[in-house]
Structure 1
Amino acid sequence: MYKKIIVPVDLAHVSRLHKVLKTAADLGRHYNAPVCYVGVISPLPGSVARSPSEFSEKLGAFASKQGEEYGIGTSSHAVTSHDPAVDLDDALLTAIADTGADLVVMASHIPNVADYIWPSNGGTIASHSSASVFVVRGE
C-alpha cells in the first residue's frame, strides 16, 4: 500500500521521538516500505552540526542506526533552510515531493489554545501534500 515513508526528525531532540520512530519502523516493516528520515538545518553552525554537510552525515548515521535497530531499509534527506523554524512546513513539503514519499509519519504535541490560531505542522502537511499523514501524539 505505501511505497516510501518519511519521518521528520530533529536530531537535537531524538530522545523525545521514541514513539514516532517506533511507529514509522513498524509501518515500514508492515508495508515493506523504506523509511527516509528528513531533517531541516540552517547553513549556520548550530548545536547539532557546524555545517550542512556535517548535519547530512549525522542524519545519515542516524538513519543507518534506525535501520539496524528496527530491521528496516532506511535513508536520509537533509534540507538546508535559512530559517528552519519559519520554513519547516515548506521544507517538508518539498522533501515529500523530492523523495516521492506517500506516507509521512510525524510527531506532534497535545493540542492547545494556540493551535486554534496557528495550524500545527502536521495539519499543514496534511492539508497541502498528496501524501497521507500519520500524526503521532506524545513521546
Structure 2
Amino acid sequence: MYRKIVVAVDIAQLEKGERILRKASTLLDEGGTLLLLNVVEDIPGYLVSDLTVDMMVKARQESEETLIDLRARMGIAAEIEIREGSPAREILAASEERGADLIIVASHIPDLSNYFIGATADRVVRHAKCSVLIDR
C-alpha cells in the first residue's frame, strides 16, 4: 500500500510505539522503507543555562538506543533517525525530505485545548503533504 512510511515514536510511550510500528509493517509495500523517528524536544530558553550539552547528547543517545531495541525486539527492518526540535515540525520535515507517502503517529489523551487528537498529531494532520494515520 505504501512505499515510504515515517513512524513517529515517543519513547516515553513505547507501548504505543510498538503498536504503530506493527501497524506500519502491515501497510508497507514489499521493498518499501520504514523510518523510525524520535524527536528530542527543544529546551525552553529559560532552562538552557541550567542544562549541559551532555544532557542533550544523553537524551539523543537514549532515544537511539531505545529505537534500536524496539526495532530488534519487533524484528522489523527500519531506519532510525533522531532529531531535535519541535516534534510536529521535525516529523513533517523528515517526511518531506524522505518523500514519505504515509506518516503514522500515536495520539495521547488530549486536554481541552486539543480535544480530538493531541497537539503534535493535530499539527501533523493539518500540515502534512501525505496521508497521516493517527493511532488512538
- Shift in alpha-carbon separation, 1:117–1:109, aligned structure 2, 3 A: closer
SS at match of 1:34: strand
- Which stretch shows the higher mean deviation, 116-125 or 3-12? 116-125
Q: Give 1:73's aligned amino acid.
A: A
2:126 alignment counterpart: 127
TM-score, normalising length: structure 2: 0.72
Paired with 1:10 and 1:120, the residues of 2 have a C-alpha distance of 13
Q: Give 1:99's aligned amino acid.
A: R
Does 1:50 pair with 2:58? Answer: yes
Identity %: 25
Paired with 2:122 and 2:129, the residues of 1 have a C-alpha distance of 13
Q: Give 2:130's aligned amino acid.
A: A
- Shift in alpha-carbon separation, 1:64–1:44, aligned structure 2, 3 A: same
Aligned length: 124
Q: Any idea what the Cα deviations from partners look like across 1:16-49, whole Å, max 9, x if unmatched?
A: 4332222122212xx2232111011256526xx6
Structure 2 alignment gaps of length 5 or more: 42-52
Contact 2:18 2:70 in 1 (8 A): no
1:84 alignment counterpart: none
Does 1:27 pair with 2:54? Answer: no
Structure 1 alignment gaps of length 5 or more: 82-86
More strand by share: 2
Q: Give 2:19's aligned amino acid.
A: K
Deviation at 1:108, TM superposition (A): 0.9
Deviation at 1:109, TM superposition (A): 3.0
- Shift in alpha-carbon separation, 1:129–1:121, aligned structure 2, 3 A: same
For residue 73 of structure 1, the aligned residue among 72, 77, 84 is: 77
Contact 1:38 1:77 in 2 (8 A): yes
TM-score, normalising length: structure 1: 0.70
